[in-house]
């Protein structure tokens, strides 16, 4: 569904403005006009930094995962499983930790649905990891080294018939189904539906109904939880959709890090072809979700392109070209890519300052990257942000934190185009350090 | 001749390297000598890594070639004198964390460097580190994590190891979130910022004993 009826007639800038306007005026009943004003001021701050203007103060947007639950006394398991406790914690968290965006509720992954489906890509509390752990990836070669052509020829068929049966227990029967593209003429309808008459497929369909019911319960609770915090505290979300770099789709969930690294040596052309094939899928994934949420930012966590994971030459050959196509595709849709470069990106700063990507159209959030260098390379070109270290949040002191944030803001926030954030997605951390990160951000970020 | 094999591995020409090993063995060359040439190549790759000219994929690919070479040499090595090991390293990803890629690279590099490596896998319980170190009389316990939430598990292993009095066993940590600050927090003896540094650190410690 298009964002507006005249979408096709709009250019990228008009689309961007339409999305920004919609974001500033959401269908939410704010508790008061004053709260609505706070919401709109925050949206303005975030829009200003994207456009490389000096904001009213530095916006503060740390990545949150389990921390909103854990900091309010919930276990990891309760945070995921108990919607009522989470909703309560969610309000208390946002009252106590005065950041400028809603915590990232998509990081509180929908474990009830995982339970219904026997989801194998992650472990979560009570399923492979302890009750106090966050969800974790089970990385494996879910796609085999000799399956590139299957993926390239028909990604949808590959997903349903090869990949999903391996990562979702309930979907094992998908492996025996014909591709849906067989349904091209009436006579194929008969053979296509035969497997649906068998007990394993019917069992799968029942599990999908259970998952659907769990999903309805999940979205009702989560949408209400976010809407309530938004209406009470005037907090915009930080992103309205997600996508990934094509190379990361291969490396994170299909071939695995090790498998993909070997493919780069053993079958480089297939890797490049598969990445190209995934570009339109990656763009479409975000556009659909951002059209629904009516939020312009697209969260793009970047993994396998970090320093050390590829040489500069291989980054420029395997990683960047297709990520760039995704970024350009999103920008053309009026969306704002919000890249989170996990790990260090010091060796990538030159490559990602790519003049083919228009200035002031995206955000680079960093983790362990040297921020002064990031500013030197990207300042005046794209908004940057981050990078309060995980080690400091976990093992630091309040004074260390104050010093770090003051220095960071002094170094890079002077002329705008900066968002204060965390270098990691926060599960466990020292509550005093998280509070100080925000307090210091407010203090020093108002003086620039 | 085997300069050529060393170079093939340094260049990560997998097929060439494996074919050369076949040829050398067919010609009756000594397996121990072939292995030495391969290790020379790994030293060069390690140096390139330390110098910022090679990266994780190169280490993994080189490790993969070494696995292939070792499989070919193994039947010819049984009669040879068993290689003297530098020392025992017990390694694992700590409790609460199931990430294994970094840990696996360190395992490969330690192994190639000549350590006897006992790999306990991921999500390893505190007691398991201690019991294995005792059982194997380890000189080093190496702990890995990716998640900051697992740093406390490292701290607990360090405390338990100090209490257990492991005959001077050194404690190494590593992983993306590890900094000097985390070393101080956990009480570990040191950290390697990558696999090559981890091997160097283990060599320093064991050499210094």
Å from B182 to nearest chain A CA? 7
Q: What is the tens place of the pLDDT at every residue in A188-230?
A: 999 999 999 999 999 999 999 999 999 999 999 999 999 999 9
Q: Which backbone phi and psi does B176 adopt, to 5 degrees?
A: -55, -40
- Which residues of B fall within a CB distance of 8 Å from A138? 98
Whether B83 maps to a domain, the answer reads no
pLDDT of residue A109: 96
Å from B187 to nearest chain A CA? 12
pLDDT of residue B209: 43
Q: Are residues B119 and B198 in the same domain?
A: yes
Task: Tell me if chain B has a CB within 8 Å of the CB of A311.
Answer: yes
Q: Are residues B72 and B116 in the same domain?
A: no
| Residue numbers of A between 36 and 75 with CB closer than 8 Å to B | none
How far apart CA B102 and CA B194 sit, in angstroms, is: 8
Domain count, chain B: 2
Which ipTM did the prediction report?
0.89
Could you tell me which of A436, A322, A382 has the C-alpha nearest to residue A50? A382
Contact call for residues B15 and B48 (beta carbons, < 8 A): no
Q: What is the tens place of the pLDDT at every residue in B29-78?
A: 988 889 889 989 988 998 999 899 999 999 999 999 998 998 998 888 76
Task: Tell me if chain B has a CB within 8 Å of the CB of A257.
Answer: yes
- Which residues of A fall within a CB distance of 8 Å from B147? 134, 136, 427
Strand-strand pairing, A122-125 and A136-137: antiparallel
How far apart CA A225 and CA A91 sit, in angstroms, is: 8
Mean pLDDT across chain B, nearest whole number? 90
How far apart CA A262 and CA B183 sit, in angstroms, is: 32
CB contact under 8 A, B98 and A128: yes
pLDDT of residue A393: 95
CB contact under 8 A, A314 and B57: yes
Å from A69 to nearest chain B CA? 14
| Residue numbers of A between 113 and 142 with CB closer than 8 Å to B | 123, 128-130, 132-134, 136-139
For residue B165, count other CB atoms closer than 10 A to its CB. Answer: 9
Q: Are residues B107 and B62 in the same domain?
A: no
CA distances from A306 to A53, A346, A366, A368, B82 (A): 28, 9, 11, 10, 40
pLDDT of residue B113: 85
Q: Are residues B51 and B146 in the same domain?
A: no
- Which residues of B fall within a CB distance of 8 Å from A261? 56-57, 60-61
Q: What is the tens place of the pLDDT at every residue in B87-144?
A: 999 999 999 888 888 899 899 889 888 899 999 999 999 999 999 999 999 999 999 9
Q: Are residues B55 and B96 in the same domain?
A: no
Farthest CA pair distance, chain B: 56
Q: Are residues B70 and B101 in the same domain?
A: no
Q: Which residues of B touch A (CB under 8 A)?
A: 12, 14, 54-58, 60-61, 64, 95-101, 104, 123, 147-149, 151-152, 176-179, 181-182, 185, 194
Tokens of A314: 């291989």
* Confidence check: pLDDT of B202 > 50: yes
Give B167's pLDDT tier (boundaries 50, 70, 90). confident
CB contact under 8 A, B56 and A261: yes
pLDDT of residue B1: 47
Place of tokens 């080294």: A145
Q: What is the CATH number of the domain that holds B33?
A: 1.10.1240.10
Contact call for residues A299 and A63 (beta carbons, < 8 A): no
H-type alpha helices, chain B: 3-10, 14-26, 31-50, 56-77, 101-113, 126-136, 151-164, 180-186, 195-207
Tokens of A334: 């009026």
Q: Are residues B37 and B67 in the same domain?
A: yes
Contacts of A308 (CB under 8 A, 6+ apart): A343, A344, B55, B56, B194
Mind listing the pLDDT tens digit of every residue in chain A (448 residues)? 789 999 999 999 999 999 999 999 999 999 999 999 999 999 999 999 999 999 999 999 999 999 999 999 999 999 999 999 999 999 999 999 999 999 999 999 999 999 999 999 999 999 988 888 899 989 999 999 999 999 999 999 999 999 999 999 999 999 999 999 999 999 999 999 999 999 999 999 999 999 999 999 999 999 999 999 999 999 999 999 999 999 999 999 999 999 999 999 999 999 999 999 999 999 999 999 999 999 999 999 999 999 999 999 999 999 999 999 999 999 999 999 999 999 999 999 999 999 999 999 999 999 999 999 999 999 999 999 999 999 999 999 999 999 999 999 999 998 899 999 999 999 999 999 999 999 999 999 998 8
Task: Tell me if chain B has a CB within 8 Å of the CB of A395.
Answer: yes
* Confidence check: pLDDT of B81 > 60: no
CB contact under 8 A, A129 and B151: no
Å from B61 to nearest chain A CA? 6
Which sequence spans correspond to the domains of chain A?
7-61+238-445
Contact call for residues A112 and A81 (beta carbons, < 8 A): yes
pLDDT of residue B35: 87
Which of B58, B77, B96 is the last residue before a domain boundary?
A: B77
Instruction: Determine the structural domain holding residue B136 and report its residue range.
Output: 88-207
How far apart CA A90 and CA A229 sit, in angstroms, is: 7
Å from A391 to nearest chain B CA? 6
Contact call for residues A433 and A392 (beta carbons, < 8 A): yes
Q: What is the CATH number of the domain that holds B103?
A: 3.40.50.280
Whether B168 maps to a domain, the answer reads yes
The sign of the CA dihedral A49, A55, A58, A63 is negative
Q: Are residues B14 and B103 in the same domain?
A: no
For residue A325, count other CB atoms closer than 10 A to its CB. Answer: 19
Q: Are residues B67 and B96 in the same domain?
A: no
pLDDT of residue A289: 95
CB contact under 8 A, B177 and A310: no
Q: Are residues B182 and B133 in the same domain?
A: yes
Contact call for residues A109 and A135 (beta carbons, < 8 A): yes
Q: Which backbone phi and psi does A417 adopt, to 5 degrees?
A: 65, 30
Q: Which backbone phi and psi does A135 adopt, to 5 degrees?
A: -70, 150
CATH fold for domain A7-61+238-445: TIM Barrel (3.20.20)
The sign of the CA dihedral A38, A40, A41, A45 is positive
CB contact under 8 A, A258 and B14: no
CA A370 to chain CA centroid, Å, is 22
pLDDT of residue B75: 86
Contact call for residues A125 and A77 (beta carbons, < 8 A): yes
pLDDT of residue B17: 96
Q: Are residues B47 and B133 in the same domain?
A: no
Å from A253 to nearest chain B CA? 14
Whether B82 maps to a domain, the answer reads no
Rg of chain B (C-alpha set): 18
Å from B178 to nearest chain A CA? 7
CB contact under 8 A, A136 and B176: no
Q: Are residues B53 and B96 in the same domain?
A: no
String of DSSP letters for A222-284 = HHHHHHHHHHHH----S-SEE---HHHIIIIIISHHHHHHHHHHH-HHHHHHHHHHHHHHHHH
How far apart CA A228 and CA A232 sit, in angstroms, is: 6
């Amino acid at each position: 569904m298009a964002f507006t009826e005249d979408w096709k007639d709009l250019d990228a800038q008009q689309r961007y403005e339409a999305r920004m306007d919609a974001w500033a005026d959401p269908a939410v009943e704010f508790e008061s006009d004053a709260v609505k004003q706070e919401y709109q001021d925050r949206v303005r701050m975030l829009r200003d930094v994207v456009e490389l203007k000096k904001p009213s103060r530095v916006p503060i947007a740390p990545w949150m995962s389990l921390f909103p639950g854990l900091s309010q006394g919930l276990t990891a398991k309760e945070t995921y499983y108990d919607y009522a406790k989470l909703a309560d914690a969610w309000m208390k968290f946002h009252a106590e930790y005065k950041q400028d965006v809603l915590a990232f509720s998509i990081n509180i992954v929908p474990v009830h649905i995982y339970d219904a489906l026997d989801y194998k890509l992650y472990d979560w509390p009570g399923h492979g990891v302890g009750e106090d752990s966050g969800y974790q990836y089970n990385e494996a070669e879910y796609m085999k080294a000799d399956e590139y052509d299957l993926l390239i020829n028909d990604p949808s068929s590959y997903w349903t018939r090869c990949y999903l049966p391996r990562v979702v227990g309930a979907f094992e029967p998908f492996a025996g189904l014909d591709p849906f593209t067989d349904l091209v003429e009436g006579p194929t309808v008969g053979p296509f539906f035969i497997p649906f008459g068998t007990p394993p497929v019917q069992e799968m369909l029942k599990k999908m109904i259970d998952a659907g019911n769990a999903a309805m319960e999940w979205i009702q609770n989560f949408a209400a939880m976010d809407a309530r915090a938004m209406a009470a505290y005037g907090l915009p979300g930080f992103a309205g959709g997600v996508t990934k770099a094509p190379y990361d789709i291969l490396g994170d969930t299909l071939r695995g890090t090790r498998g993909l690294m070997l493919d780069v040596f053993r079958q480089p052309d297939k890797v490049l072809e598969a990445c190209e094939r995934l570009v339109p899928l990656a763009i479409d994934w975000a556009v659909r979700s951002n059209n629904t949420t009516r939020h312009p930012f697209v969260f793009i966590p970047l993994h396998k392109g970090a320093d050390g994971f590829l040489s500069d030459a291989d980054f420029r050959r395997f990683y960047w070209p297709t990520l760039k196509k995704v970024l350009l595709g999103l920008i053309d849709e009026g969306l704002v890519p919000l890249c989170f470069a996990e790990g260090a990106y010091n060796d990538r700063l030159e490559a990602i300052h790519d003049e083919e990507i228009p200035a002031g159209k995206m955000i680079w959030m960093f983790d362990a990257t040297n921020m002064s260098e990031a500013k030197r390379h990207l300042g005046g070109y794209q908004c940057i942000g981050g990078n309060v270290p995980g080690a400091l949040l976990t093992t630091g002191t309040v004074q260390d934190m104050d010093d770090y944030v003051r220095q960071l803001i002094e170094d890079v926030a002077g002329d705008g185009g900066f968002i204060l954030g965390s270098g990691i997605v926060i599960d466990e951390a020292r509550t005093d350090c998280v509070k100080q990160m925000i307090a210091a951000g407010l203090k020093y970020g108002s003086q620039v | 001749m085997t300069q050529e094999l060393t170079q093939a591995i340094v260049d990560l020409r997998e097929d060439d390297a494996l074919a050369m090993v076949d040829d050398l063995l067919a010609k009756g060359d000594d397996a121990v000598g072939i292995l030495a040439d391969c290790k020379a190549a790994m030293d060069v790759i390690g140096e390139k890594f330390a110098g910022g000219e090679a990266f994780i994929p190169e280490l993994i690919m080189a490790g993969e070639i070494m696995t292939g070479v070792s499989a070919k040499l193994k039947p010819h090595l049984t009669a040879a004198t068993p290689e003297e090991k530098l020392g025992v390293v017990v390694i694992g990803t700590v409790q609460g964390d199931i990430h294994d890629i970094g840990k696996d690279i360190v395992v490969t590099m330690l192994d190639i460097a000549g350590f006897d490596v006992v790999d306990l896998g991921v999500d390893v319980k505190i007691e398991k580190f201690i019991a294995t170190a005792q059982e194997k009389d380890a000189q080093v316990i190496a702990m890995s994590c990716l998640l900051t939430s697992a740093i406390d598990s490292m701290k607990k292993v360090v405390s338990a190891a100090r209490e257990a009095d492991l005959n001077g066993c050194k404690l190494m940590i590593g992983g993306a979130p590890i900094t000097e600050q985390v070393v101080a927090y956990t009480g570990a003896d040191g950290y390697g910022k990558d696999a090559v540094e981890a091997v160097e650190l283990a060599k320093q410690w064991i050499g210094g004993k």
